[in-house]
Structure 1
């Protein structure tokens, strides 16, 4: 028998050593329930299946390139649009269209409803700045906002000639002349922003506030509004002093605000203001945000959505003159439904909708307690 086997037998005959008691395994404590406060997100706007609802008409030279960023107003059971159009020559003008149900276009003009007359563009300050395009145009009127007060239709838009100067401009027409499409009755436009400055995205509130006309002209670094007893005070020599800066926003999705979208919409909770901003995660895209301003003092922000309410996610918002753009200049309410009209990729007109009360309710809800389980580190 070999030594190896003798050793194995000897070890086998030995008394077994008593087993050491096993240490109790530490049990992982159950996750602790944490109570924190959070807010619900606002309802997203639903894009129409039939988008885009307006596209360039190649047979009309004045709108053969781009049709986008429409102003919108609901009058006499119709939505009336003044949309920005660019065609051969690069001149930006406004076309007219209308819709009975807010989505399908029933009528569309074959000629511009509004264009700057000769001599007006020449009144801009002469500079040596190179000629860059603005949204595809080399000059003209762009991005209209519309409001009706006491039987008068007011139109605020940007006049563009070169990038050294973009000036906000005001004109008006009687409601009757507007509905009858008497486009030669537009009043002579006047500049309402100062020369040698760049401004965009100014809107007129659709009703007087404290018996005064109110123009919202900046939301960054704060809400800026000017009030007037009469808009005749803006005579082309008196200008609104406005300041804009890309102030960093700590709380929210926005890298910074760009500007207001449509004219504010009056709701039971306050003035609903839709605005353009760039996302912190992707500053190459324009998205739409929402906030509620106080009815009596609209310089006060009561609520603000923590996420964008409209984003460029579909082909018609990413394939065009400028990719990744949703840009709104018009919105209306029809039978409790909010219709938001916007330009997709600076090329086509689109619409998104939501029930107005359902849209703003989560936005204005008070903080509520919500529980969740906090993950513990291993």
Structure 2
């Protein structure tokens, strides 16, 4: 199957980098089941051993740790001290820590995690909130990506970049360091209420990693679909994503104005029990609108008066062509054109092969499908079909710039690439419905 003639793949690849690490809490292995409340745990034993060191040895050991790791992280001493505070509250009574002991104790209860060691994929792209550095005739953007590390745990990471007047894409250099935000509002622990996240404003956007912070997210924050939502004169960035605890999934919503502070909260309602929800970039007739898949097969249009509660919905797109016979899903929020709402879709075909197509929905009534692609626009290229999950191309959102669509997409759940698509040619190639 030849690629679409109006699609231009760019020689720009974002690949996982195992050298980028964050610091996470480390917990010793599970304790024996017959442990009594008054018994010392393995954590207590570790602390006792540290407190048994003389002052000189303590200082020497701490200096060795810092020499080994300080170039890999910001404010490592503060991280050790914060972790020691957490441990001190959890441990059986012991002698007070000195400053050096506190820092050394904290170092024993953290570990490095290479958050994108395995994959960097399923990108989503939106207009950057700050356009001061945009090239002439171009624009700045924020790219979100799903990063996967040890244990197949997914987190959310970011890049910034520019689109030139001619549609060429460039990515800003990625920093070596990475950091997680400060989280508040984690009560109750499962994460049934809002959670606020705050990064430091002076950190580069590529440093910011949103790692699972609640029980529902414990095995992953997956496939964020970002959209710049317009309401009157104000703009807010929302992202629908899948929280996964290792057994069950839940749709949740991420909100930000500046990509420095974020709020996470679950979505409620019967329509939010499934993956792959994508919000329209504005209200339609005074109501929020979403594209989602409720039955693991078809795409639905859902309306709601409440951004955080979604029920019902009507099916608008079903598998029609052989490349999508297994199921279809959305590839991010609809893009508003003069001709209608352009919705990128993914289809699953033989040998569980994922490809990307498109549909055009009516501007006033998106339940009406005006046209759709008979053949996929992007499919696994023979030279790019191998990876963590072979035979897959996938995206979580594209952006319009002038007469083109900028489409970032993932290859075989491993790395990400970019393509540009001429809007006029794309619409002309779609089959009327």
1:9-61 deviations in Å (ceiling 9; x for gaps): xxxxxxxxxxxxxxxxxxxxxxxxxxxxxxxx97552222x14x211111111
How many Å apart are 1:284 and its aligned residue?
Answer: 2.3
Using the alignment, how far apart are the partners of 2:421 and 2:332 within structure 1? 16
Please tell me whether residue 190 in structure 1 is matched to residue 261 in structure 2. no
Aligned to 2:116: 63
Aligned to 2:254: 171
Alignment-derived partner of residue 106 in structure 1: 172
- Give the conservation status (yes or no) of the 8 Å contact 1:95–1:112: no
What is the rounded CA distance, in whole Å, between the counterparts of 1:64 and 1:242 in structure 2? 38
* Residue of structure 1 in register with 2:126 after alignment: 73
Q: Is the 8 A contact 1:42 1:363 kept in 2?
A: no
Q: Which residue of 2 is the match for residue 264 of structure 1?
A: 334
Instruction: Say whether the 8 Å CA contact 2:345–2:357 is kept in structure 1.
Output: yes
Residue deviations 1:257-312, cap 9 Å, x none?
33100211112221111111123xx2421011111111111111111111111110
What is the match of residue 89 of structure 2?
A: none
Change (3 A) 1:254 1:140: closer
Structure 1 119/95 Cα, relative in aligned 2: closer, same or farther at 3 Å? farther
Shift of 1:254: 2.5
The secondary structure found in structure 2 opposite 1:93 is strand
More helix by proportion, 1 or 2? Answer: 2
Q: Which residue of 2 aligns with 1:141?
A: 221
Q: Give the corresponding residue for 1:330.
A: 397
Q: Structure 2 vs 1, CA of residues 158 and 112 (structure 1 numbering), >3 Å: closer, same or farther?
A: farther
Equivalent-residue separation in structure 2 for 1:338 and 1:275 (angstroms): 14
Q: Higher Cα Rg: structure 1 or 2?
A: 1
Aligned to 1:46: 8
CA deviations on 1:243-262 (whole Å, 9 max, x unpaired) are 99996x45564213331002
TM-score, normalised relative to structure 2:
0.61
Q: Deviations over 1:321-351 (max 9, x none)?
A: 0000001112011232211111111010111
Q: Is 1:295 matched with 2:363?
A: yes
Structure 1 residue ranges without an equivalent (≥5) = 1-40, 125-136, 367-378
Confirm whether residue 85 of structure 1 aligns to residue 147 of structure 2: yes
Q: 1:297 to 1:104 in 2, by over 3 A?
A: same
Taking a change above 3 Å as real, the CA distance of residues 65 and 323 of structure 1, as seen in their structure-2 partners, is same
The equivalent of 2:311 in structure 1 is 240
Measured after TM superposition, the shift of residue 356 of structure 1 is 1.4
Any idea what SS the aligned residue of 1:358 has?
A: helix
Q: Give the TM-score normalised by structure 1.
A: 0.69
Distance (whole Å) between structure 2 residues aligned to residue 298 and residue 261 of structure 1 = 16
**Preserved contact between residue 204 and residue 263 of structure 1 (Cα < 8 Å):** yes
In structure 2, stretches of 5+ residues that fail to align are 21-113, 132-138, 193-216
2:281 is matched with 206
CA distance in 1 between partners of 2:330 and 2:270 (Å): 19
CA 1:108/1:210 → structure 2, altered by over 3 Å: closer, same or farther?
farther
Cα 1:42–1:302 shift into 2, 3 Å: farther
Question: Distance in 1 between the 2:181 and 2:391 partners?
Answer: 28
Counterpart residue number, 1:358: 425
For residue 138 of structure 1, report the CA deviation from its aligned partner.
7.7
- How far, CA to CA, are the matches of 1:295 and 1:349 in structure 2? 31
SS at structure 2 position matched to 1:162: coil
RCO greater where, 1 or 2, for CA within 8 Å and sep 6 or more?
1
Q: Is the 8 A contact 1:43 1:309 kept in 2?
A: no
Is 2:371 aligned against 1:309?
no
Aligned-residue CA RMSD (Å): 3.2
